[in-house]
Each structure stands twice: as C-alpha cells, then as structure tokens.
C-alpha cells in the first residue's frame, strides 16, 4: 500500500509540470496495485532519484524522486527528460534489480551541457 509521502511526491512532480495528468494518474494507480511476491525487505531501497544539472550554471534542470516500487516507470520517465546516448535504461534496470544502490549513474554530456545522476536509496 502506498504511503502519503509517496502519493505526495507524485503530485509534486505533476504540479511541477514534469509529467502530464495522465502520467500522474498511471503512477498513482500503479502505486496502489499490490505486486505479487514483492515485499520490501528491511533495508531495501525506497527511492529512485534522477538529477539533471546544467554543466555551465550548475543549476538543476530535472529533479525526479519516485518510490522505488515504480522503478521501471520512473526510469523510463527520467529517460524521457534527459537521456544522453551513453545512458542505457535497460542496463540500469538490470543493475538495480541485481542489488545496485547509491549513485549508480553519473554521466556528463558535454555536447548537451548536462550532467545526469541516478540514485537508488
């Protein structure tokens, strides 16, 4: 079952214009669906975070925080906003499912002037 904090985070993303109302509805719906055989073991990651920063100014361009149980939706949503050629979403998802935690991606796209960081916390 989703927590109030998880629902609020999705609503903040929607309010910030980072997703459409339809995408927000899908995320909220997915958050409420129990997944078979999926319980959160103690100490397991709770958040999937994507940060995109402008290299020239250092200012944040994208800041997405999603509940970990929405991993695949969140990864694809983050790629929609900023996905340098070096960023392979399927490879990232495999690493996370294999247990990777902390900062798992740190890419500087000098041509695009952006830094993409992905965290699992």
On the question of pLDDT at 52 being above 60, the answer is: yes
Percent of the chain with pLDDT over 70: 74
Domain boundaries, the chain: 45-120
pLDDT digits (tens, 9 = 90+) for 13-46: 888 888 788 887 877 777 776 554 455 455 566 7
Contact criterion met (CB below 8 Å) for 105 and 117? yes
pTM of the model: 0.56
Q: Which of 37-41, 60-64, 73-77, 80-84 has the lowest average pLDDT?
A: 37-41
The arithmetic mean of pLDDT across residues 66-77, rounded, is: 70
Closest CA to 90 of 70, 108, 72, 64: 72
Residue 115 near residue 52, CB atoms below 8 Å: yes
Mean pLDDT to the nearest integer, 41-59: 80
Q: Work out the average pLDDT over 70-99.
A: 70
Mean pLDDT, the chain, whole residue set: 76
- Pair 102, 119: CB distance under 8 Å: yes
CB 24 within 8 A of CB 17: no
Residue 68 or residue 78, greater confidence: 68
User: Which residues have a Cβ under 8 Å from the Cβ of 61 and sit 6 or more positions away?
Assistant: 52, 53, 54, 82, 114
């Amino acid at each position: 079952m989703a927590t109030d904090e998880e629902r609020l985070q999705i609503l903040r993303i929607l309010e910030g214009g980072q997703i459409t109302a339809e995408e927000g509805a899908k995320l909220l719906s997915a958050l409420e669906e129990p997944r078979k055989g999926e319980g959160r073991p103690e100490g397991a990651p709770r958040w999937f975070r994507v940060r995109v920063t402008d290299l020239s100014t250092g200012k944040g361009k994208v800041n997405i925080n999603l509940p970990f149980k929405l991993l695949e939706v969140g990864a694809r949503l983050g790629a929609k906003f900023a996905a340098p050629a070096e960023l392979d979403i399927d490879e990232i998802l495999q690493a996370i499912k294999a247990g990777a935690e902390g900062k798992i991606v740190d890419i500087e796209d000098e041509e695009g002037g952006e830094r993409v960081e992905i965290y699992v916390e």
